Amino acid sequence: MSSTRPELKFSDVSEERNFYKKYIALPKKLLKTIRLVDKGEYYTVIGSDAVFVADSVYHTQSVLKNCQLDPITAKNFDEPAKYVTVSLQVLATLLKLCLLDLGYKVEIYDKSWKLTKSASPGNIEQVNELMNLNIDSSIVIASLKVQWNSQDGNCVIGISFIDTTAYKVGMLDIVDNEVYSNLESFLIQLGVKECLVQDLTLNPNSNTEVQKVINVIDRCGCVVTLLKNSEFSEKDVELDLTKLLGNDLALSLPQKYSKLSMGACNALISYLQLLSEQDQVGKYELVEHKLKEFMKLDASAIKALNLFPQGPQNPFGGNNLAVSGFTSGGNSGKITSLFQLLNHCRTNAGVRLLNEWLKQPLTNIDQITKRHDLVDYLIDQIELRQMLTTDFLPMIPDIRRLTKKLNKRGGLEDVLKIYQFSKKIPEIVQIFNSFLEDEGPVESVKELVRSTWLAPLSQHVEPLSKFEEMVETTVDLDAYEENNEFMIKIEFNEELAKIRGNLDALREEIHTIHLDSAEDLGFDPDKKLKLENHHLHGWCMRLTRNDAKELRKHKKYIELSTVKAGIFFSTKQLKSIANETNILQKEYDKQQAALVREIISITLTYTPVFEKLSLVLAHLDVISSFAHTSSYAPIPYIRPKLHPMNSERRTHLVSSRHPVLEMQDDISFISNDVTLESGKGDFLIITGPNMGGKSTYIRQVGVISLMAQIGCFVPCEEAEIAIVDAILCRVGAGDSQLKGVSTFMVEILETASILKNASKNSLIIVDELGRGTSTYDGFGLAWAIAEHIAGKIGCFALFATHFHELTELSEKLPNVKNMHVVAHIEKDTNEQKHDDEDITLLYKVEPGISDQSFGIHVAEVVQFPEKIVKMAKRKANELDDLKTSNENLKKAKLSLQEVNEGNIRLKALLEQWIRRVKEEGLDTPSNISEEASQHKIQELLRAIANESENENDNYLKYIKTLLL
C-alpha cells in the first residue's frame, strides 16, 4: 500500500510551518475522532492520528514522516510530530475502518484548516462518496431523552431515530426497566449505529443510570455521543420537522408524540445539521416503529446465533459492505453467519432488506405464513426464479444510491441506468403474468403473488412510460448503445444541432489537414503520422522523435511539445481550427449541461415511484434468496408448521441441523431431534462432555426459530414451531475465568436482563452460566435462575451446563427435562472398507442424564459384553461423587480431535481386551467364581491399558480414571 502514498507538498518552508501552527491552534478534538486535511489530490493526517493510520491502515510505522515545525510550535506540539499522506483510494479504506468498523468520528479540513466535512458512525452522508461503497444496511442514528421515575424503578425513554441514507425519521416512547432491556431490543431491531444521550454524567443523581444506559448501548455495538442536556429541548422542533418532511403534518406532531421524543428529535436534527443541507429539506418521511411487531433479540443473541459475520472489532458484523459494483451475494468466502448463508440477493436493496429482516423477525403468524407461501411458490416455480435471478434482478440498479447521486452531481449516465431499470418493469410484469396462468399453484397463493409483487409493479408501468418517453425523446440512445456516449439528441434542440453541424464541419477540415500533411511529409497517416486531440493543445499531430527530423525541413510546421511518445506539432491553420473547435465544444457542453440538468430534475420527480418499485423488487429478491438457500442446502430445508403465540406452545423439530455449521466443509453434521412443550418439557438441561455439541444443539433451536420467523424454511426433516416473542441468550464467558469478579457481575446483569425481558412466549438460551466464577457461586446462580425460569416464567429454555447437579431440578419441576450428549458411531456403509474405519463422533443428543464417562458409551457401541460394561459402570458409579467426576471432566479439557482419535485407540484397546478375555476363557468361567473372574478381567484391562499408555495420551489417562 505504501507505493500508492502521495508526497506532501508545500510551496515553501514557511507555508509548511504555518500549516502546523494552525493545526495546534484547533480546538481539542473529542476522543475517537480522526482529523484529515484535504490537499486536493490526496489527504494528510498529523500527530497521533498519523500513528493510528500508519498502524491500522499501512501496518507499518515506516510510512511516518517528520513535520517541519518552527521552534515555538514544536514546543507546544504534544503529539508525535509526524504525518502520513493518504491517497484517495486509501482514504476510502480508512473511512470505512474508522466509521463502520471502529466507531470513530471523522473531521475533514481544507488546506486552511476550515472544517469542510464531518462524519460519525450514524451519519456518513458527507463522506459517502469518498468511501465509494455500497451500503448494505441502513445507517440509523438515534437520540434518547430519558425520564427516570425513582418510585417504581421504571423509566420512560423518548426516542427519535433518523436514517439519513433512506430519508426516514421516527419517534417513539418506550417504558423500560432498570436493566433497559427494551432499549436494547430497540437498538438491535433497528441496527442503530450511533446514539445521542444527554450528558448527565456530572449529575450525581442520574450518573449511575446514565452509565447503565451507556453500557447497554455499548453492548449493542453502537457508539455513544454525549450532548449537552440543553440540546434536548422540544422547543420549535415541529417547525424543523415541517421543513424536513416538506409538509405541515409535523405541526400536529406534538399531539401524537411525547415531549421526550420531540426533545430527542431536536437534538438529532441539530446534531446532523439536517436543515443546513438544502438537499435534505422536504425529503424526509415520518415512519413508525413498534417494538412489539418484531421478535425481541438481545445483543448476545445476535452473536450466539451467528446472525452476521463477526470480526474482532465488529461484533455485529456491522455493515456488510461490498466495494462499489455488484454485490456478489456475500458468499465468496467461508460461510460463518446466517446472513452469508441466506444472502443470494441480486440487488443492493435486497441485501439491505435481508439485513433488516434478520434483525426484525416477525411475530404475527399471518405475516409469517405469507412469506412462507411466497417462498414455497418460488421454490416450486424454478424456471421463474431462475429467470428473475439471472435475467432481471441483476439488472436492477441501486435506486437509492442513484437518486442520491442524481441529486448531487449525477449525469446522463445515471438517468440512463434508471431508464433501463424502468424498461425492465413491464418485462417482469409480463413474466409474472405468464407464470400465473399456470394451473399449478392454488388460487390463494396466486392471489398473494399478485397482491405482493405483481400489482404494485404493474401499477407503476403507466406513469413510468411517461418518464421513458421523456428519455427517448431527449437522449441519444443510439450513441449510448453504439459508443457508450451520453449525449442529448441533437434533433431535440436546434441550438445544439447547429453547433454539432459546425463541429462536424471543422472535424472534416482537420482530417483534410492531417491527410495533406501526411502526403507532404511522406508518412502513412494511419500508422506513422497520428492525429490526436491533446488535453492541452487540442487537435494536433504527432510523430515519433526519430521521424521528427523530417519536420524541421518544412517551415510551416510548428512544434508544440516533445514527450517520450514523440513530438506534437501543428500548422497555423490547424491551430486556429483547433482553437475554434475547442470554443465550440465548450459551448456544446454548456448547452448540453443545461438540458441534462433539466432532464435530471424531471427524472428526480419520479423518485418516489422508483423507490416503491425498488422496495417491491427487494422483497422479491429476498424471498427468492430464501427459496434458493432452502432448495440448495445440503439437505433441502422444509416449511415449518407454526403455532401462534399464546396458543399451543409446542416446538418439535425432527432431525434438525445447525444451518451454518452444516455448511462447513470439515464437518459431517449429526442431526438431532428437539421437543419443547409447555408444561411437559419446556425447560431442557443439556449435559455432556466438552466439545460434545451442547452449545450447537441449543443455539440451533434459536437459529431455526429465527429463520422460521423471518419467513425462511428450516433445516429439519419435520418442524413444528411455536412462534416466540423473543430470543434471549446468555452465552458463557467461556475461558474468561481470568476476568474473575467482573465476569460474574456481567453474568448477573445480563441474566437479570433476560429475566426481565422474557414472557411465557419467549425462548431463552443459556450456555455455561456461572462458568466464569467459582463453582460454588456459579452453581448457585445457575440453579436460582433455572428455577425461576422453569417455575415462574414458564417459557421455552435450553440450558447447556457443566453443573451436573442442575439435572436434579427435573425432580423438583415436572416441566424440566434432562438431555445429554452421547457418542454416536457412524456406520460405514461401504462394505469394502474395514470395520476399523468407522468414525466415532459425539453430538447425538438424547433424553436423560449424561453419565459422564463417554468411554463407557464407546464400550457399548463396540458391542462389548454387557456384563463388563455393567461392571465398568458400577466402577464409575463408585467414583461417582458427582463433583470429583465433574471436576475431572473439566480438567480433562479434551479437544475434539483428542476425543475422536482417543475413541479409535480406545476401541482398539477394548477389542484387544475382549479377545484376551475370550482367549483366557474369562467370559464363561467354569471353575472360578464370577467375582474372581471379574477381578481378573479388570486386571487384564489394567495391564493392557498400562502397556499401551503413552505419556501424552490425555484421553486414555482420563478414561482410566473412570474405568480403573
Ligand X SMILES: Nc1ncnc2c1ncn2[C@@H]1O[C@H](COP(=O)(O)OP(=O)(O)OP(=O)(O)O)[C@@H](O)[C@H]1O
Please report, as ranges, the residues that interact with ligand X according to CB under 6 A. Answer: 661, 667, 669-670, 688, 690-696, 800, 843, 896
Q: Give the nearer residue to ligand X in terms of CB position, either 339 or 843.
A: 843
Q: How far is the CB of 690 from ligand X (least distance, A)?
A: 4
Q: How far is the CB of 826 from ligand X (least distance, A)?
A: 10
d(CA 168, CA 615): 14
Q: Give the nearer residue to ligand X in terms of CB position, either 522 or 734.
A: 734
d(CA 770, CA 803): 9
* Pairing status of strand 530-534 against strand 538-543: antiparallel
Q: Which three cell numbers stand for residue 150?
A: 425513582
* 8 Å CB contact between 261 and 144: no
Instruction: Name residue 654's beta-bridge partners.
Output: 718
Q: Give the nearer residue to ligand X in terms of CB position, either 36 or 800.
A: 800
Q: How far is the CB of 713 from ligand X (least distance, A)?
A: 20
DSSP state of 180: -
* 8 Å CB contact between 221 and 313: no
DSSP state of 483: H
d(CA 876, CA 961): 9
d(CA 578, CA 536): 11
Q: Give the nearer residue to ligand X in terms of CB position, either 592 or 695.
A: 695
Q: Give the nearer residue to ligand X in terms of CB position, either 102 or 896.
A: 896
Helices (H), 437-547: 443-449, 455-458, 461-474, 477-483, 494-521
Q: How far is the CB of 852 from ligand X (least distance, A)?
A: 13
d(CA 81, CA 85): 14
Q: Give the nearer residue to ligand X in terms of CB position, either 670 or 765.
A: 670
Contacts of 312 (CB under 8 A, 6+ apart): none
Q: Give the nearer residue to ligand X in terms of CB position, either 295 or 674.
A: 674
Q: How far is the CB of 700 from ligand X (least distance, A)?
A: 8
Name the phi and psi angles at 178, rounded to 5.
Answer: -75, -10
d(CA 864, CA 841): 18
Q: How far is the CB of 350 from ligand X (least distance, A)?
A: 31
Q: Give the nearer residue to ligand X in terms of CB position, either 463 or 848.
A: 848
* DSSP assignment of 557-602: EEEEEEETTEEEEEEHHHHHHHHHHHHHHHHHHHHHHHHHHHHHHH
Whose cell is 449505529? That residue is 193
Q: How far is the CB of 307 from ligand X (least distance, A)?
A: 18
Q: How far is the CB of 735 from ligand X (least distance, A)?
A: 10
Whose cell is 497555423? That residue is 572
Q: What is the CA radius of gyration of the chain?
A: 36
Q: Which three cell numbers stand for residue 336?
A: 460463518
Half-sphere exposure (CA, 13 Å, Cβ side) for 268?
A: 30
Q: How far is the CB of 771 from ligand X (least distance, A)?
A: 9
Between CA 897 and CA 673, with CA 890 as vertex, the angle to 5 degrees is 65
Instruction: Name residue 519's beta-bridge partners.
Output: none
* Pairing status of strand 683-687 against strand 65-66: unpaired
Q: Give Cα separations from 263 to 146, 158, 230 (angstroms).
A: 10, 8, 9
Q: Give the nearer residue to ligand X in terms of CB position, either 123 or 651.
A: 651
Q: Give the nearer residue to ligand X in terms of CB position, either 691 or 763.
A: 691
Q: How far is the CB of 145 from ligand X (least distance, A)?
A: 42
Q: How far is the CB of 816 from ligand X (least distance, A)?
A: 19
Q: How far is the CB of 642 from ligand X (least distance, A)?
A: 25
Q: How far is the CB of 829 from ligand X (least distance, A)?
A: 18
Q: Give Cα separations from 697 to 165, 385, 474, 587, 691 (angstroms).
A: 39, 33, 62, 71, 11
Whose cell is 415462574? That residue is 792
Q: How far is the CB of 833 from ligand X (least distance, A)?
A: 20
Q: Give the nearer residue to ligand X in terms of CB position, either 201 or 690.
A: 690
Residue showing the smallest CB distance to ligand X in the complex: 693
Helices (H), 246-398: 253-256, 259-272, 299-304, 338-342, 348-359, 365-380, 382-387
Q: Give the nearer residue to ligand X in terms of CB position, either 382 or 667.
A: 667
Burial environment of residue 796 by CB neighbours within 10 A (0 to 12, 13 to 18, 19 or more): buried
Contacts of 799 (CB under 8 A, 6+ apart): 683, 684, 685, 686, 698, 766, 769, 782, 786, 806
Q: Give the nearer residue to ligand X in terms of CB position, either 188 or 670.
A: 670
Q: How far is the CB of 843 from ligand X (least distance, A)?
A: 4
DSSP state of 153: S
Name the phi and psi angles at 707, rounded to 5.
Answer: -60, -45
Q: Give the nearer residue to ligand X in terms of CB position, either 334 or 867.
A: 334
Q: Give the nearer residue to ligand X in terms of CB position, either 589 or 826.
A: 826
